[in-house]
Amino acid sequence: MLKIIIILIAVFIVIYLLFFKSKSRAVDGAELMVECGKCGIFVSEKEALMKEGKYFCRECFRRKK
């Protein structure tokens, strides 16, 4: 009986880890788009530059500086 419980817990952990991994992988794969605080253009979060809690596209960030 104890073995069955241990196996069930192990299976649950594996399923949980797989779900968690695929979830985080999906977040990594799909590029999050953020709106530029100045011109309103959508840029990927990786390309966006943050200043004072707002995202800016490279163009606006350069102009602002």
> Which amino acid is located at 8 in the chain?
L
Q: Within a 13 Å sphere around the CA of 40, how many CA atoms are in the beta-carbon half?
A: 0
Out of 34, 48, 55, 57, point to the residue binding Zn ion (CB under 5 A). Answer: 57
36 binds Zn ion (CB under 5 A): yes
38 binds Zn ion (CB under 5 A): yes
# residues contacting Zn ion (CB under 5 A): 5
43 binds Zn ion (CB under 5 A): no
Point out which residues bind Zn ion (CB under 5 A). Answer: 36, 38-39, 57, 60
